[in-house]
Amino acid sequence: MSRVATQRALLRETEYWFRAHGLPMLARDDRLRSVLYRALPVLVFLTILQIGEDILRNLVLRILPDVYGYIDLAGTDVVIVDDGFYTVYLLVNLILAALGTWYTVRLRHRWASLFWTWFALPLSAVYLWWPLATLALNWDKWADALADIIDSAITLATIFLLIWSGAAAMAWWTIKRIFSRLEDFATLSTRALPILLGVVTFLFLTAEAWQVASSLSWARLTLLGCFFLGAMLLYYGTRLPEELRELRSDLTPANIRAACRATPLGDWAGRNSEVTWSRHPLTRAEKANLLLVMVIMQLVQVVLLGVLVYLFFVAFGSIAIQGDVIKAWINKDPSHKVWTFFGSNMNIGPELRKVAFLIAGFAAFTFGIQLINDQQYRANFVAPIHDELEKILLVRESYLRLRLGEAVGGGDDGGDDAPAVVVAGPRDQDQLTAGQGAVE
């Protein structure tokens, strides 16, 4: 493989690494080709699902005798009237679509080619205009076909918009972040939960809290939770830009190698870290992406803390708060939902769950504000986030150095590390003309 091809492959792997860490705006690849390439698996799945549904419905099902009650043939249409058979029909269709998508992804990884990028265009056309093919079976269905085309167009526009904006990558990263950071439960349980419980437990034992919570519907409680979230995000919007300006790691060889060690640029950074480095200013899109990542990282901890508080008070209330006490507090008979635990009856009715939800929301809001202001909380929960982002920014510097052709070869023959790449788009041109600057 040529030097340029090797570096381009390295750039693609690093761009994928950025997206896997919720930072799609740090990637400087061709946006159109990147969107088409990443949309391909979704397009394959949807196209197979759509075509498979019509084929199964209008061909395979027709060979089954309708006397079994599975289907009802009405003219040229097929209506499945048996729920069990309909479930099997859906599962077969989903399995076929999943297998087709899996095989496409495998081929795309084994055979790197621009074909996979541009193949998304005709595939999109097939998905969009396939309802017209169904008109060959029944021309009276043109209104339904037109509605299907409009639905397909909206679906395609949504998919491409989510991928182009980076929202899809951010959403997937958020899901992975939540499940990959479950070890935070231990840290939160030992360092944050005891302090907060000392503050909010007295609220749980007041009649006013139970009266307020029991008088609210679940819809209003959800709205109240959104109010807490909005107030916290408003506060983060005023403080986190300052946190972003404080993210700065020295561009030393040791820091560069340490940051890139577990990334696709690990070997490259080890060969090029001994040269003089200069910072590349962050673009507005990159700043916004980093701020969003900081917000999500902290919100994940806030949500986990809220879940812990909710579970604690549901368990504590089911053991300690009896029905007659609840009746005295809310001035009416409580709803009963008894859970038997080793012979003991525990009431976890809606009144208990509502007051636990209310107090958990308040505790999570308090914790979210303290993450910014309290030095002990910052050391335990915010400092690791800053360290992670500072390393990512160092990886970004290495990535831009390689992409903008600033690498200096380590050998006399100007091997794979010599400057070779390629300024591919206007974002790169802006970066070259922006000059050297600090992250602000």
Q: Tell which of 133, 166, 199 closes a domain.
A: 166
For residue 439, being part of any structural domain is answered with: no
Count of Cβ atoms closer than 10 Å to residue 217 Cβ? 10
Q: Are residues 23 and 63 in the same domain?
A: yes
Indicate the Cα dihedral angle 127, 128, 129, 131, nearest 10°.
80
CB within 8 Å of 17: residues ≥ 6 apart = 263, 264, 395
Measure the CA–CA gap between 25 and 215, rounded to whole angstroms. Answer: 45
User: Cα dist. 92→63, 101, 104, 248 in Å?
Assistant: 17, 14, 18, 53
Higher pLDDT, 60 or 267: 267
pLDDT tens per residue, range 313-334 = 998 888 888 878 888 888 887 7
pLDDT tens per residue, range 359-368 = 999 999 998 8
Q: Are residues 159 and 192 in the same domain?
A: no
Dig out the tokens for 2 from the structure. 């040529």
The range of the structural domain enclosing residue 288 comes to 181-434
Higher pLDDT, 413 or 4: 4
Q: Tell which of 166, 190, 218 closes a domain.
A: 166
For residue 86, being part of any structural domain is answered with: yes
Q: Are residues 159 and 36 in the same domain?
A: yes
Q: Are residues 196 and 143 in the same domain?
A: no
pLDDT tens per residue, range 191-233 = 777 878 887 888 888 899 999 998 899 999 999 999 999 999 9
Identity of residue 173: W
Q: Which long-range contacts (CB under 8 A, 24 or more apart) does 89-97 make?
A: 89/56, 89/57, 89/61, 92/56, 93/49, 93/52, 93/53, 93/56, 94/49, 96/48, 96/52, 97/44, 97/45, 97/46, 97/48, 97/49, 97/52
| Model confidence band, residue 419 (pLDDT cutoffs 50, 70, 90) | very low
Higher pLDDT, 309 or 340: 309
Q: Tell which of 116, 140, 166 closes a domain.
A: 166
- Name the least confident of 119-123, 233-237, 270-274, 417-421: 417-421
Q: Count of domains in the chain?
A: 2
Dig out the tokens for 55 from the structure. 């084929």
pLDDT tens per residue, range 47-57 = 988 888 777 76
Q: Kindly report the backbone phi and psi dihedral angles of residue 260, in degrees, each rounded to the nearest multiple of 5, phi listed first.
A: -90, 0
For residue 232, being part of any structural domain is answered with: yes
Q: What is the pLDDT of residue 30?
A: 72
For residue 174, being part of any structural domain is answered with: no
Q: Are residues 122 and 205 in the same domain?
A: no
Q: Are residues 282 and 352 in the same domain?
A: yes
Give the residue from 173, 193, 402 showing the smallest Cα distance to 316: 193
Q: What is the mean pLDDT of the chain?
A: 77
Q: Are residues 263 and 155 in the same domain?
A: no
Q: What is the pLDDT of residue 184?
A: 62
Task: Using CB atoms within 10 Å of the CB of residue 120, give its burial: 0 to 12 exposed, 13 to 18 middle, 19+ buried.
Answer: buried
For residue 67, being part of any structural domain is answered with: yes
Q: Are residues 160 and 203 in the same domain?
A: no
pLDDT tens per residue, range 363-395 = 999 988 888 887 877 777 788 888 888 888 888
Q: Are residues 64 and 205 in the same domain?
A: no
Q: Are residues 83 and 153 in the same domain?
A: yes
User: Cα dist. 392→31, 129, 385, 388 in Å?
Assistant: 21, 43, 11, 6
Dig out the tokens for 344 from the structure. 């003991």
User: What average pLDDT does this structure show over 64-80?
Assistant: 49
CB 382, CB 298: distance < 8 Å: yes
Q: Are residues 241 and 332 in the same domain?
A: yes
Q: What is the pLDDT of residue 298?
A: 84
pLDDT tens per residue, range 153-194 = 898 888 888 888 777 777 777 777 766 666 666 666 777 778
Q: Are residues 146 and 187 in the same domain?
A: no
Q: What is the pLDDT of residue 338?
A: 57
For residue 173, being part of any structural domain is answered with: no
For residue 105, being part of any structural domain is answered with: yes
Q: What is the pLDDT of residue 417?
A: 46
Angle between helices 350-373 and 284-320 (to 10 degrees): 140
CA 368 to chain centre: 20
Measure the CA–CA gap between 248 and 438, rounded to whole angstroms. Answer: 9
Higher pLDDT, 429 or 291: 291
For residue 172, being part of any structural domain is answered with: no
